[in-house]
Amino acid sequence: MGLPDEIQAEIQDYFHLTIELRDMQEEFRIFMSLISKSKRDKIENTIFEANLRSNTIVAKMLKKYGGENENLNSTMMNKMSKILKRS
């Protein structure tokens, strides 16, 4: 190819990772299709909530308004999840 070995190795690693991620997504999609709607909803909510909590703006808002009160934080997360799912 004419590329340095290091660059070729990085490109190969990228393609291997991309294929692995695609396979994992497909396996997850199949898994989700095999379980009940209630379990699927629970999994989707858990993933969605984790993504929301990792958002710095949401994390600051939870800290400001919910503080250490996990019940309040969970309530706010549930409401945000429902609102964002509709859009």
**What is the H or E stretch that residue 34 is in?**
helix 5-34
pLDDT for residue 15 is more than 60: yes
Residue 22 pLDDT class (50, 70, 90 cuts): very high
Domain ranges of the chain: 1-34, 36-87
pLDDT, tens only, 62-77: 778 777 777 777 777 7
CB of 43 closer than 8 Å to CB of 37: no
Side chain identity at residue 52, one-letter code: L
Q: Please state, in angstroms and as integers, the Cα–Cα distance from residue 9 to each residue in 12, 13, 21, 23, 86, following that order.
A: 5, 6, 18, 21, 43
